[in-house]
Structure 1
Amino acid sequence: MADGTTTPPGAALPADDANRKLTVANPDDSKMRHLSIAGGIYTILVSGEQTAGRYCLTDMLVPSGGGPPPHRHDFEEMFTILDGEIEFVFRGEVLRAGAGSTVNIPANAPHSFKNMSDQPARLLCMCTPAGQDEFFLAVGDPVDSRTAPPPKLSPDERAERVRRAKALAAKYRTELLV
Structure 2
Amino acid sequence: MTDFNSATAGIPDDDPTRSLTVVDPDDPATTHISLAGGTYTILISGEQTNGQYCLIDMLVPDGGGPPPHRHDFEEMFTILEGEIEFTFRDEKRSVRAGSTVNIPANAPHNFRNVSGAPAHMLCMCTPAAQDEYFMRVGDEVASRDAPPPQLTDGEKAERRQRAAELAPVYRSELL
> In the superposition, relative to structure 1, how do residues 98 and 130 fare at CA in structure 2: closer, same or farther (>3 Å)?
same
Equivalent-residue separation in structure 2 for 1:147 and 1:91 (angstroms): 33
The whole-number CA distance in structure 2 between the counterparts of 1:155 and 1:8 is 58
SS at match of 2:166: helix
1:25 Cα deviation from its structure 2 partner? 1.1
Report the equivalent of 2:76.
Answer: 78
State the AA in 1 paired with 2:50. A
1:12 offset after TM fit, Å? 2.2
Query: What's the counterpart of residue 146 of structure 2?
Result: 148
> Among residues 103, 112, 116, which one is paired with 1:105 in the alignment?
103
Paired with 1:8 and 1:45, the residues of 2 have a C-alpha distance of: 34
Residue aligning to 1:161: 159
What are structure 1's unaligned runs of at least 5 residues?
none
Task: Give the SS at the match of 2:145.
Answer: coil
Q: Which of 15, 19, 25 is residue 17 of structure 2 equivalent to?
A: 19
CA distance in 1, matches of 2:92, 2:6: 38
After TM superposition, the structure 1 = structure 2 runs for residues 45-64 of structure 1, keeping only pairs within 5 Å, are 45-64=43-62
User: 1:56-90 CA distances to partner (integer Å, 9 max, x unpaired)?
Assistant: 00000000000000000000000000001000000
User: For residues 105 and 12 of structure 1, what CA distance do their matches in structure 2 show?
Assistant: 30
What is the letter of the counterpart of residue 164 of structure 1? Answer: R
Residue type of the alignment partner of 1:31:
A
Query: 1: distance between equivalents of 2:116 and 2:10?
Result: 52
SS in 2 for 1:60: strand
- Partner residue in 2 for 1:124: 122
How many angstroms does 1:147 deviate by?
1.2
Query: SS of the counterpart of 2:94?
Result: strand
Identical residues among aligned pairs (%): 65
C-alpha offsets along residues 87-118 of structure 1, whole Å, 9 cap, x if unaligned?
00000000100110000000000000000011
- Deviation of 1:8 after TM superposition, in Å, equals 8.6
23-32 vs 122-131, which moves further: 23-32
- Supply the AA of the counterpart residue of 2:86: F
Q: Which runs of 5+ in 2 are unaligned?
A: none
Which deviates further from its counterpart, 23-32 or 109-118? 23-32
Q: Report what 2:88 is aligned to.
A: 90
Tell me how far apart the structure 2 counterparts of residues 8 and 80 of structure 1 sit (CA, whole Å): 32
Root mean square deviation, CA, Å: 1.5
